[in-house]
Structure 1
Amino acid sequence: MIIRPAGPGDAEAILRIVMPVIREGRTYALDGDMSEADALAYWTSAEKETFVAEHDGAVVGTYYMRANQAGGGAHVCNCGYMTGEAARGRGVARRMAEHSLVHARERGFRAMQFNFVVGTNERAVRLWSSLGFGIVGRLPGAFRLPEGEYVDALVMYLEL
């Protein structure tokens, strides 16, 4: 697997990954009716570094990295990760997460924070925990699942 910076030629592949996740509405606090143009602008905006994971020449995952806050909080980064449906359960997310940890250190970040991990996203919580992230906050009922149930969101943090 190769993880590399995303380029303009990756737009369609990124959309094939992010749009189903956004539409599903189970793991990201994004408008499920978001247009493709808005989704791509969100995922690849100027303040983010966006990467793609390729396997056998196909883009199977994508992630972005950005400073979590400006000014006094700019030493902490934040990332978002999505894996294509056909590639889930094959270690793509772990490889992207490991890549992002190395890249964050290289960029001088001192910590990584996930602001809003949906508590029912057990795969993500297990992955982040296995990489050393701790749950430093719980936001009770902060996320509404598509069927209307309110579930907790977690704040997860790792010092680099």
Structure 2
Amino acid sequence: MLIREATTADWPAIWSFFREIVSAGETFTYPVDLSQEEGRDWWLLPPPNRTVVAVDDVGTVLGTAKMNNNHLGNSAHIASASYMVDPAHAGRGVGRALCEYTMEWARAEGYRIMQFNAVVDTNTYAVKLYQSLGFEVLGTIPEGFRHPAHGYVGLHIMCRAL
């Protein structure tokens, strides 16, 4: 697996699973009816932030991550990231590789902390992955997320030092 900078040419491949994940309304705080153009603008970040794709040996996009500053000013040393793995390629280590990549990027860019602002507590695969990489749940907003199947569930704030 190769992780490389995402380009606008990658967007159609990203959109194919981005749309599925966002419209399911189970893991992201994005509007479920997000248009393709809005999604592209929200996901493909300009420098100094970054968006990458994980691709296999024939160039198939397996997943994507965006990494960015989480705060400004005196808290500009805190990074954040978001991840999407094509469900057709789940369980193959793509999410872990992307998360490790974003932490390396953040360290290299001088960030001291990585914080996730909104991890849905029913997204147990993500929570377990992040915890295995050293992230801690700092707090949970009770009923902070309206899940389509589970109703109102908690929304974790997670972070780790880099």
> Shorter-chain TM-score: what band?
over 0.9
Aligned to 2:61, which of 47, 59, 73? 59
The Cα RMSD (Å) is: 1.1
Partner Cα separation in structure 1 for residue 65 and residue 17 of structure 2: 11
Q: Which residue of 2 aligns with 1:133?
A: 135
> Is 1:143 the equivalent of 2:137?
no
**Superposed displacement of residue 147, structure 1:** 3.7
Aligned match of 2:37: 37
Provide the rounded CA distance (Å) in 2 between the counterparts of 1:15 and 1:88: 16
Match runs of 1:5-154 below 5 Å? 5-46=5-46, 48-56=49-57, 57-147=59-149, 149-154=151-156
2:160 aligns to what? 158
SS of 2:21's equivalent in the other structure is helix
Kept in 2, the 8 Å contact 1:135–1:156? The answer is yes
Percent of paired sites with the same residue: 39
Q: Secondary structure at the match of 1:46?
A: coil
Q: TM-score scaled by structure 2?
A: 0.95
**Deviates most, 96-105 or 116-125:** 96-105
Q: TM-score, normalised by structure 1?
A: 0.96
Conserved? CA contact 1:114–1:156, under 8 Å: yes
How many residues end up aligned between the 2 structures?
A: 160
Contact 1:17-1:60 within 8 A present in 2 as well: no
Partner-residue secondary structure (3-state), 1:100: helix
Structure 2 counterpart SS, 1:153: strand
2:110 maps to amino acid? G
Instruction: Report the residue type matching 2:65 in the other structure.
Output: Y
1:148, CA displacement in angstroms? 6.5
Letter in 2 for 1:115: N
Amino acid at match of 1:24: A
Helix, strand or coil: the match of 1:26?
Answer: coil
Structure 2 unpaired stretches of 5+: none
SS at match of 1:31: coil
Q: Distance in 2 between matches of 1:147 and 1:99?
A: 32
The residue aligned with 1:2 is 2
